[in-house]
Chains A and B, each alone.
Chain A
Amino acid sequence: MKFAVIVFPGSNCDIDMYHAIKDELGEEVEYVWHDTDSLEGYDGILLPGGFSYGDYLRSGAIARFSKVMKEVIKAAEAGKPVLGVCNGFQILLEAGLLPGAMRRNESLSFICKPVHLKVANNQTMFSAEYQEGQSISIPVAHGEGNYYCDAETLASLKANNQIVFTYEQNPNGSLEDIAGIINEKGNVLGMMPHPERAVDTLLGSADGLQIFQSIVKTWREAHVVKA
C-alpha cells in the first residue's frame, strides 16, 4: 500500500508521519507538496499536523484552498482512506469533508501531553484493530482542538456512529469529549491526537500504530486478490 503525506508550508508533523509509515508500519510512503495537482497512484492520503500557512485567519482555512486539496477531495469521493491529524483534521473540517469546526481550547492554553482515548467505534477502516471501548494512550498537541458542531450535526454523528475516538478526560472542552470523527461514508477520519507520535514503546506508547495497521488491513482485504 502506498501512502502520500501532504506537506503544506508550516506542516511540522510530516516527518513523524513518514517515519511511522515507512519504519514502523513498513509500507511505501512519499511526501507530496501542496501544489501538486494529482494524487494518482496513492492508496491512502495523510494530512499531518502543524501550522499550515501559520494558522492565519483560522487553522486550516488557507490550506483548504491549496491546489492539492481538490485532489484530496477527489480521493475522498473515490473512497480512498484519508486521515487528517491535528492541523490535518482542522483542514478537513474547513474543507467540509468532515462536519463541525474547532474553537480555541477552553483553557486558552496550548496543550501538549499524552492523553487516554476511548475507542468509541471499532467498526471503521481506521479502528478495526482495536477493541470496542479500548483505552489507548496517544499524545495531543494543540491550541485549537475544542470541537464544536450544532445539535443537529451532533445527533447525526451519533446516529451514524461517526464518533470514533473520545477523550477519557476532556483536555480542551471538546463537545461530547470528541477526539476523532469519521465521515458518513467511512473513509475520512479526522482526529486531534497524534497517532504518528505513538508508534514505538520506546517513545512512550505504540497505541497509535493500530490506526495505520487498520487502514492497511482493510485495504488489503479489498484489493489483494485471494487465491
Chain B
Amino acid sequence: MYKVKVYVTLRESVLDPQGKAVTNSLNALNYKEVTDVRIGKYMELKIEKSERDIDEVINEICSKLLANPVIEDYRYEVEESVAQ
C-alpha cells in the first residue's frame, strides 16, 4: 500500500485572487516580509500496489481529475506503508 500526498496549486502564470487577498491581509498585520501567498489543495491518497508503475498511475490520476492542467500544477510525494 502506498500513501501518496498530492499538492495542487494554481500555475505561476495564473493570478491567484485568494492568495493575493491573504498576502494583503498578512501585510496589514504588519508581516511586511510576506511578498506572496499561493493557495492550493492538499490531498492524501491510499493506493494499493499493482503491476502498474506507481508514478504512472499518479500522473494519470492527477492530469485526468485531481488537477486541471489549464490553470493548475501538481506535485506529489509517495510513501510506502505497510498494508493494514
Listed in ascending order, the chain A residues whose CB lies under 8 Å from chain B are 57-58, 61-62, 65, 93-94, 99-101, 103-108, 146, 148-150, 173
Query: By the criterion CB–CB under 8 Å, are B70 and A104 in contact?
Result: no
Query: By the criterion CB–CB under 8 Å, are A103 and B70 in contact?
Result: no
Listed in ascending order, the chain B residues whose CB lies under 8 Å from chain A are 10, 13-15, 17-18, 21, 41, 65-66, 68, 70-71
- Per a CB cutoff under 8 Å, which of A57, A107, A148, A149 touches B65? A57
Query: By the criterion CB–CB under 8 Å, are B71 and A108 in contact?
Result: no
In the complex, chain A residues whose CB is within 8 Å of the CB of B14: 103, 148
Query: By the criterion CB–CB under 8 Å, are A100 and B70 in contact?
Result: yes
Query: By the criterion CB–CB under 8 Å, are A101 and B71 in contact?
Result: yes
Query: By the criterion CB–CB under 8 Å, are B70 and A106 in contact?
Result: no
User: 7 smallest A-B Cβ distances: which pairs?
Assistant: A101-B70, A101-B71, A106-B17, A104-B17, A101-B68, A108-B17, A58-B68
Query: By the criterion CB–CB under 8 Å, are B68 and A104 in contact?
Result: no
Nearest residue (CB) in A for B21 is A108
In the complex, chain A residues whose CB is within 8 Å of the CB of B10: 103
In the complex, chain A residues whose CB is within 8 Å of the CB of B70: 93, 99-101, 148-150
In the complex, chain A residues whose CB is within 8 Å of the CB of B71: 101, 103, 148
Query: By the criterion CB–CB under 8 Å, are A61 and B65 in contact?
Result: yes
* Bound CA span A106–B14, Å: 12
Nearest residue (CB) in A for B66 is A57
A67 to chain B: closest CB distance in Å? Answer: 16
In the complex, chain B residues whose CB is within 8 Å of the CB of A99: 70
* Bound CA span A105–B15, Å: 11
Query: By the criterion CB–CB under 8 Å, are A103 and B17 in contact?
Result: yes
Query: By the criterion CB–CB under 8 Å, are A108 and B18 in contact?
Result: yes
B21 to chain A: closest CB distance in Å? Answer: 6
* Bound CA span A106–B15, Å: 9
* Bound CA span A1–B21, Å: 48
* Bound CA span A94–B14, Å: 17
